[in-house]
Structure 1
Amino acid sequence: MHPKNLRGGKMTRPVMFLITLLPALAVAQLDTLWLRTIDGGPGLEDVFSDMVVDDSGFVYITGATATASLTTDIFVRKYRPDGTVVWTATYNGRANQDDSASALVVDSLGNVFVCGWTMDTLMDMDMITIKYSPTGQLLWAKRWFRAVNRDDAAHALALDQQGRVIVTGYCSDASYNIDYCTICYNAQTGDTVWVRYYNRTPENDEDIPYALCIDDSSNIYVTGTSYDDGTDYDITTIRYRPNGTQTWLRRKNNWPWVGDDYGLKIAFDPTTRSVLVAGTVWDDNQDYNYFTMKYRATNGDSLWYRTYNRYPANNEDLLTALALDPAGNVFVTGTSFDDVTDYDIATVSYTASGMPRWTQRYDADGFEDTGAEITVDSLSQIFVLGTGESRINRMDMTILKYDNAGNPLYVWSWDNPAVHREDWGYRIAVHSPKYIFAAGTTTDDTANQDLLLMKLYEVLHDFAVRTLLTPESLYISDTLFPMAVISNLAINPDSCRAYLKIEPGPYLDSSWLVLTPGAFDTVQFALLLADTTGVITVTCWVNLAADERRFNDTLIRTVIVWQETTGLAENRPADTRLVVTITPNPIRTQAQINFSLPPEPAVTLRLFDRTGALVQQFPIQTVNGRTRFRLDLKNLPAGVYFLKADRVDVPLNAKVVIQH
């Protein structure tokens, strides 16, 4: 067979493709180096608490794993950078009942400190702080309780500059009054240096800390929530000197609205010598809003505060995480309700002076999406880890990356392919600009949660042939329009040549591509006239010199060329298939539609949104079954739509994505 390369002259019958829509391609700038799951036992629930990556790339994970006796033990494991296990430690309290970790830190020598709670023999909870050596040996474990047969639990811990570990949590007194409890231990010996309680009087009600941080002079800052008879729960932040002396205390109520306000995260900013507190506050719409506040570190003066509410939804906006960059810019994330897209991952940035910089919202598929953690890498890029809910896979671990100005760089999600259930992301860390660690939980085949840890890497250079657009067959003397969709699935802009070869015969064409990260292009190669029958092989490949993933560089398709039948008793069957191409897709404002539908002269295309509501329709008159027109969608909101035909003999159901 000897196809001809047609670049001009008389054209014969063109062969179009069956609904060759350009899909919204999944961006994959991240790839998995290794993945580990931890299962305490079949049919048992395991709980994730925290993850830390040290300067050498070793990873530490903690939580609670289930036991055969249906209780839980504190679980700690250390991994090498290659994903192999260094050591595993579990802690079972003296009551042989439930024990759970809350947080973990690692010192410069590789010693590991874990805090949480342990059940006592009297079936009450005690605060617990544990130290392990770099090789996983238990060095000491310290319980703390304020009153017998009451509940106490540690929520957070940090290391100061004086070789001490500071733990905060809550303790109950004999009257069931719950107070802030902050403890300073000698990190070497575990001896108690000092203990400080905070109780709001005369209420003597609930005072619960959730987070702490330490500045470069070993001053300690604790935040949480504290009950007041007049204002309900207030965000309450306390500063202690290294010797435990309280230097200031600030309460913040979202006045004039009386409701529950919570301080959930706290961070010290060395650039501005200030403390950032983030959480949620109650407002006049009877819902929660993001809340971010900045105090002067030395005296607790309020510098500014900001709230974030999705308007006009005026529903729940729940902050979960806080991060700072070296310039003092502030980043918060969480989950925020929208009337159309339900709960979205909403990320907000402020300047060091509290001016809003940008807001980005992410919706996976119109369901509940949650941001759990946020971090800033050495290049001041922002990574958000959370969970996105989709129609097919339910809950998927999701990573969003933004540049410092808030421009989205990529979205990556992970679904456990064995079960397609719930996969939650809780902690993220970036080690060097290339490697990313993510941890959370995944549902196993017994519908129970296991701990999940993975190491990912950002792909620097990767072009992929995503789709090769060719028909399954054509008739002799037909004209073929070979096209390919080629994507840049890396984090760097790149350029290379894409090739298309058709065999047997001399056909070879190429095109030069320049693509930004995450971008794609639909390349139309030179036309082909098939002049003999048989099977032809179409091969498309890219030739990027530094490509890191060669497996996606090439696609091959076969096409059958049929003999035209000219006998009296046989005619070529009428082709009633609606043949559509839409470019570009995703669409920002307008797209061009080309289609072929012989022999009927007319068809109406209808555009539906994801709820099934008709939003637009396009009556089309064809000439010899073919037409071309502009599709103007700039006035429609961004989202996923479906294009269908009004004729029952036309099985068209094509997805159109609008991105403004």
Structure 2
Amino acid sequence: MNRFGPLFIILLVPVLALAQLDTVWLRTVDGGPGAEDIFSDLFVDDSGYIYITGTTGTTSLTTDIFVGKYRADGTVVWTTTYNGRANQDDSAAAVVVDSMGNVFVCGWTIDTLMDLDMVTLKFSPSGQLLWKKTWFRTINRDDAAHALVLDRLGRVIVTGYSMDTEYNTDYCTICYNARTGDTVWVRYYNRTPDNDEDISYSICVDDSNNIYVTGTSYDDGTDYDIATIRYSPNGTRTWLRRKNNWPWVGDDYGMKVVFDRTSRSIVVGGIVWDDNQDYNYFTMKYRAPTGESLWARAYNRYPANNEDLLTAIKVDTSGNVFVTGTSFDDVTDYDIATVSYTPAGIPRWTQRYDAEGFEDAGADIVVDSIGSVFVLGTGESRSNRMDLTILKYNNNGDPLWTWHWDNQLSHNEDWGYRIALCRPDRIIAAGTTYFDSTNVDLLVMKLYEVQHDFAATALFVPESLFITDTLFPIAVIQNCAVNTDTGYAYLKIEPGAYLDSTYLILLPGAGDTVNFASFLADTAGNYIITCWAKLARDERRFNDTLRAVLTVWQETTAIKEAQAALQRLELTLTPNPLRANGVVSFNIPLQNNLTLKLFDRTGSLVREWKLNPGNGTTRFPLQFRDIPAGVYFLRPDRLGICPTKKVVIQY
């Protein structure tokens, strides 16, 4: 005779209960059904306002530049779009905001001759368009802006490319008066006598208002090289440095340039071609006043010797350099690879992150005031495809936590592109998300690190036992926050006086399996077992408690036991996951009226259904329409009749 029933295990949703990040708010931007809305850039000002820009689709199947401003609490201050004079496609590349709250956006717009023009826009703090400037050469060809920056002289400087009469592109850097939009100066860079493709991608200024741009520039002998230029505030070119990954001739690109105030130097991040016929991360440091090369480092995943593509670079207050991107591995495919160097260029650490052996990519990186490193990107999984992903490391490169966000309505492609930090200890992440009904939408969210949270994540008890058997309850308690904490785990069995507790010390992210004191029932019947975690300053109460129902049988003949077991009511819900409708089925006809209640993960009642038995019915249709997607728990109004059923609603 089998004296124990199957284990009855309750688990909370891991993505919600175990995450050390939680969402303060989330906003999406949809240009209309079927339109693709593409994110470009993010800016957070000193007052906590959040600005995003990108491209939004229109009903006429063109695209416009989108700009949005949000308060710290996520409420929309204003949104606006810009449609160029030709009513064709317009696209944003970057956004910056001055100390007065004026917003500057650059990108490109299609003109009446169907060519691209460089465009720069200025909006007031209230979202009013103050001025717009387009730029093209005398002979109208393609011109586009990739980046912009503000200096301390009240100017906005834009960089990108401009096409000449021979359809070759040159670096194009334009300085505007930020107040009026008047052009102060324009500078082109062309590698002569090659007269081929030169494209600027990134720009920064130093504390003396000198301007630095980097990109890629073609040379007949070395192919594409990283070309970095320094301009004085009046537009005079003070130095030019070209970098080819000699002796290998291939395509080298400067993707990012940043100014290091600690050492008054310029750090350039990009990608270079090597002898294995693949790309490597490339990081190089120049002395800002002179352009003297201080050091250069490449990162290649060996022995894969495949693509390693740098996308972002950051320098902390100590001068340490951090780069991230995507890097191929023979076993794990593309991974998020993050590398740190000392101010002298000595490698400090390298960390690689692989979600599930598919394509993962780092897109942006920030460092907080204590040196913690946050990497934003995308992780690919079997179930959810692409998830927005955030990784946190301490300054020594030790992983602290990983967080994924999946759009539960589609389980499709969610991409993270930009990350920023704002007070108090909040994270802004932005990118794109896919909805089945609206296609690709812009996405921005505010997150916070959970400081204190213990969760009861699993409870192990049998469904039933005999009155002569002893119960040994087991639970798992996990620290789902970023601080080491001390707390308690409790277990209570009712009816009766059973109550046991255990003192716990848990590191961030750590869990402990708790073996509670044994229990021997006095009488047959149903017992409610409740396990909960108790922690001072716990920030998320919804994951503290788990419950189970234990049925205790009298010791009688095997036949009577089997008959009694057959009379236990079992509940089945199909389909599960479900969308708007479901059918609940019971293994035996109901003998009395029964109310089913649906609770969300916080324990709040969402909906209830009153079931009336009749004609031996065992199946009852249930309406779930208008209930938001998520995880819920369905149970009868009288505990012990049948187990609680987890319900997943998807749209």
Superposition TM-score tier, normalisation by shorter sequence: 0.7 to 0.9
Deviation readout 1:457-511 (Å, 9 max, x if unpaired): 1111111111111122222221212111111111111111111111111111100
Q: Is the 8 A contact 2:10 2:460 kept in 1?
A: no
Offset at residue 437 of structure 1 (A): 0.6
Structure 2 residue aligned with 1:292 = 283
Offset at residue 564 of structure 1 (A): 2.8
Structure 2 residue aligned with 1:421 = 412
1:144 equivalenced with 2:135 (yes/no): yes
Structure 1 residue aligned with 2:222 = 231
Q: Which moved more, 1:318-327 or 1:525-534?
A: 525-534
CA distance in 1, matches of 2:180, 2:22: 42
1:325 equivalenced with 2:316 (yes/no): yes
Aligned partner of 1:556 among 542, 547, 567: 547
Structure 1 residue aligned with 2:254 = 263
- AA aligned to 1:371 is G
Q: Is the 8 A contact 1:236 1:250 kept in 2?
A: yes
Deviation readout 1:60-82 (Å, 9 max, x if unpaired): 01011111100011110111111
CA distance in 1, matches of 2:387, 2:558: 58
Aligned partner of 1:483 among 474, 487, 490: 474
1:204 equivalenced with 2:195 (yes/no): yes
1:452 equivalenced with 2:443 (yes/no): yes
Q: Is the 8 A contact 2:473 2:518 kept in 1?
A: yes
CA distance in 1, matches of 2:276, 2:520: 67
CA distance in 1, matches of 2:350, 2:369: 21
SS in 1 for 2:462: coil
Q: 1:14–1:380: structure 2 CA closer, same or farther, 3 Å change rule? A: farther
- AA aligned to 2:121 is I
CA distance in 1, matches of 2:401, 2:446: 17
Aligned partner of 2:460 among 433, 456, 469: 469
Q: Is the 8 A contact 1:278 1:291 kept in 2?
A: yes
1:111-510 paired onto structure 2 within 5 Å: 111-432=102-423, 434-446=425-437, 448-510=439-501
Offset at residue 567 of structure 1 (A): 5.7
Q: 1:405–1:569: structure 2 CA closer, same or farther, 3 Å change rule? A: closer
Q: Is the 8 A contact 1:565 1:572 kept in 2?
A: no
Q: Is the 8 A contact 1:169 1:210 kept in 2?
A: yes
Q: Is the 8 A contact 2:196 2:218 kept in 1?
A: yes
Offset at residue 543 of structure 1 (A): 1.6
CA distance in 1, matches of 2:424, 2:200: 34
Structure 2 residue aligned with 1:516 = 507
- AA aligned to 2:433 is T
- AA aligned to 1:170 is Y
- AA aligned to 2:332 is T
1:31 equivalenced with 2:22 (yes/no): yes
CA distance in 2, matches of 1:268, 1:17: 63
CA distance in 2, matches of 1:17, 1:342: 40
Q: Is the 8 A contact 2:35 2:438 kept in 1?
A: no
Offset at residue 553 of structure 1 (A): 1.1
1:639-654 paired onto structure 2 within 5 Å: none
Offset at residue 433 of structure 1 (A): 5.1
Offset at residue 275 of structure 1 (A): 0.4
CA distance in 2, matches of 1:182, 1:528: 77
Q: Is the 8 A contact 2:10 2:458 kept in 1?
A: no
Offset at residue 149 of structure 1 (A): 3.2
Q: Is the 8 A contact 1:340 1:366 kept in 2?
A: yes
- AA aligned to 1:543 is K
Q: Is the 8 A contact 1:227 1:233 kept in 2?
A: yes
Q: 1:389–1:22: structure 2 CA closer, same or farther, 3 Å change rule? A: same
Q: Is the 8 A contact 2:10 2:546 kept in 1?
A: no
Offset at residue 177 of structure 1 (A): 1.3
Deviation readout 1:97-151 (Å, 9 max, x if unpaired): 0001000000000000000001110000000001001111111000110143310
Q: Is the 8 A contact 1:16 1:480 kept in 2?
A: no
Q: 1:565–1:293: structure 2 CA closer, same or farther, 3 Å change rule? A: same
CA distance in 1, matches of 2:9, 2:346: 46
- AA aligned to 2:384 is N
SS in 2 for 1:314: coil
Q: 1:500–1:281: structure 2 CA closer, same or farther, 3 Å change rule? A: same
Unaligned runs of 5+ in 1: 1-12, 574-660
- AA aligned to 1:358 is W
Q: 1:569–1:442: structure 2 CA closer, same or farther, 3 Å change rule? A: closer
Offset at residue 432 of structure 1 (A): 2.3
Offset at residue 17 of structure 1 (A): 6.4
Q: 1:567–1:354: structure 2 CA closer, same or farther, 3 Å change rule? A: closer
Q: Is the 8 A contact 2:8 2:462 kept in 1?
A: no
Q: 1:176–1:512: structure 2 CA closer, same or farther, 3 Å change rule? A: same
Offset at residue 531 of structure 1 (A): 3.9
- AA aligned to 2:357 is G
SS in 1 for 2:542: helix
Q: Is the 8 A contact 1:378 1:432 kept in 2?
A: no
Q: Is the 8 A contact 2:121 2:132 kept in 1?
A: yes
Q: 1:403–1:63: structure 2 CA closer, same or farther, 3 Å change rule? A: same
Offset at residue 541 of structure 1 (A): 1.1
SS in 1 for 2:519: strand
Q: Is the 8 A contact 2:230 2:238 kept in 1?
A: yes
- AA aligned to 2:448 is Y
CA distance in 2, matches of 1:460, 1:432: 15
SS in 1 for 2:139: coil
Offset at residue 562 of structure 1 (A): 2.0
The TM-score normalised by the length of structure 2 is 0.84
Unaligned runs of 5+ in 2: 565-651
Structure 2 residue aligned with 1:654 = none
Structure 1 residue aligned with 2:79 = 88
How many percent of aligned residue pairs carry the same amino acid?
72
CA distance in 1, matches of 2:170, 2:164: 8
- AA aligned to 1:336 is S
Offset at residue 446 of structure 1 (A): 3.1
Q: Is the 8 A contact 2:9 2:459 kept in 1?
A: no
Q: Is the 8 A contact 2:10 2:459 kept in 1?
A: no
- AA aligned to 1:484 is A
Q: Is the 8 A contact 2:12 2:458 kept in 1?
A: no
Number of corresponding residues = 562
Q: Is the 8 A contact 1:226 1:235 kept in 2?
A: yes
- AA aligned to 2:139 is V
Q: Is the 8 A contact 2:36 2:56 kept in 1?
A: yes
CA distance in 2, matches of 1:481, 1:14: 14
Offset at residue 15 of structure 1 (A): 5.6
Offset at residue 568 of structure 1 (A): 8.2
Structure 2 residue aligned with 1:566 = 557
Q: Is the 8 A contact 1:378 1:433 kept in 2?
A: no
Q: Which moved more, 1:209-218 or 1:541-550?
A: 541-550
SS in 2 for 1:551: helix
1:46 equivalenced with 2:37 (yes/no): yes
Offset at residue 563 of structure 1 (A): 2.5
Q: 1:150–1:570: structure 2 CA closer, same or farther, 3 Å change rule? A: closer
Deviation readout 1:256-297 (Å, 9 max, x if unpaired): 111100000110001011100001111111111110000011
